[in-house]
Structures are given as structure tokens and as C-alpha cells.
Amino acid sequence: MASKQNVLTPSKPTWLSAERSALCIVDVQHDFASPKGLLGQYGVDMSRLAPAISNINSLVEDAHRIGLPVVFIGLQTSPETDSEAWSEWMARQGKDSTSEQAICRRGTQGEAFYQCMPTPSDKVVLKTRYSAFWQTDLNSWLKTQGIDTLVVTGITTECCVESTVRDAFHHDYHVFVVSDACAAYEDELHQASLRSMALSFALLTDTQSVHAIWGTQ
């Protein structure tokens, strides 16, 4: 059965102005996106991520051109920061938490950004949980930049993207999720997550719509 497509909200240029907005890119890293990364080695099909990554790169180009802040967000794990609750949650499902926790390990190629690389002018936020706001300096940095609006992209839609979007809304940011610049390993999860975010936390847009607004700034 085909997934129900989500309705996009027409955006006004003032809502996404360079003076108040930041582009956020969540977890486009080797272990999550590369066929040679940890999940790729487990057999996860990465091909469905390619269109989203291409759209992210085009949005980064726009943001750099108009001087809009770009935030690269990545997971960085270590034994010192591993979640005991997450490990127990995995164990209770009969899964091997040790191998799963090895994803995006600090100092490995797995944590490196993939096909979408930050420049020296971009902000990099390294997190240890799903949300980019959990025990990071993201919120304080955004406030010092005068930013109240986030344009969120990345992978995976239903996990770290949605977790970050929910926290952003709870920190009183206006949140736009670029639907075709996010992706999940299953389209049903992607579409369901978009519906959930649109229902309570964010406005949905797409790459073409953002291009149209940023192209006039």
C-alpha cells in the first residue's frame, strides 16, 4: 500500500529570512549513510537516502550564498557516554546492545560526515543522544546568533530528526522540516514521522520551496 503523502505548508519569505534562521543537518554520517558504514555492513539499503543528501547539499549552497548559518549535527558515541537505559532497552528485546552502540564511535570513520561536509564557517554540534539539544551548546549558540527559526534536514526522519524537532519546538523555536531533504530507511516511517511532526511541532516544506525563498534574499 502506498504511503499517504503529507501536505506542505506554503511559507512566507519573512518566516525563513537569513537574519533569523539556521539550516540544521542531522546525522549525515558514514555509519548512518554510507554503504561501507556500520549499518550498510549490516545490509541496510542506503540508496533511498541519496535524493535527500543531494537536496541537503543544494540547501547548504543556498545558505552559504546568503550568509545563513549552517549547523552540522552528528552523533559521537563512546563507552563513557553510552546510555544505560538504551542498553537495557535493547537487551529486553533480545538484541545485542554492544554491537549497536559501536555506531559513530569517537575517533572512527563512522562518525565522519558523509557526502555533505561542513566548512570552517559552519557550526558543528556533536551529540550523544537522539536530540541535538540534549547536553550540547546548540540552544545557547542559537540564542547568541539571534536565531528563532530552524530549517531541519537529515537522517533518519523518525529518530534523530524528529527528536531534534520536538526539542526545538519545546525550546520555543519555529521549526520547518524539509520533507525531501530528510529520509528514513523505510518510507512508511518517513511519512509517518512527517505527519506526526506536522500535527504538533513543525511546518512541512520542501527543497524547491526553500530555494524559491532563499533565492530572493
Count CA atoms within 13 Å of residue 11 on its CB side. Answer: 26
Output the pLDDT for position 168: 98
Residues 126 and 113: their CA atoms lie apart, in Å, by: 11
For residue 64, give every residue at least 6 positions away whose Cβ sits within 8 Å of its Cβ, in sequence order, or none: 70, 119, 121
> For residue 42, which phi and psi values (nearest 5 degrees)?
-80, -5
pLDDT for position 5: 67
In a domain, 37, yes or no: yes
> In the prediction, which pLDDT does 2 show?
44
What pLDDT, on a 0 to 100 scale, did the predictor assign at position 113? Answer: 98
Annotated active-site residue 143? The verdict is: no
Question: What's the confidence (pLDDT) of residue 139?
Answer: 98
Q: What is the grid cell recorded at 119?
A: 566548512
pLDDT tens for the chain, 217 residues: list them: 344 567 788 888 899 999 999 999 999 999 999 999 999 999 999 999 999 999 999 999 999 999 999 999 999 998 888 888 877 877 888 877 666 668 899 999 999 999 999 999 999 999 999 999 999 999 999 999 999 999 999 999 999 999 999 999 999 999 999 999 999 999 999 999 999 999 999 999 999 999 999 987 7
Catalytic site includes residue 160: yes
Q: For the domain that residue 203 is a member of, what is the CATH number? A: 3.40.50.850
Among 24, 127, 159, 182, which one carries the catalytic annotation? 127
Does residue 164 lie within any of the structural domains? yes
Q: Can you give the residue range of the structural domain that contains 127?
A: 13-214
pLDDT at 101: 64
Cell of 11: 511559507
Per the domain annotation, does 187 fall within a domain?
yes
Backbone φ and ψ for 127, nearest 5 degrees, come out as: -120, 165
Closest alpha carbon to 3 in 58, 48, 39: 48
- Single out the catalytic residue among 159, 160, 180, 182: 160
| Within-domain flag for 2 | no
Q: How many domains does the chain have?
A: 1
Residue 101 resides in a domain: yes
Q: Is 12 a catalytic residue?
A: no
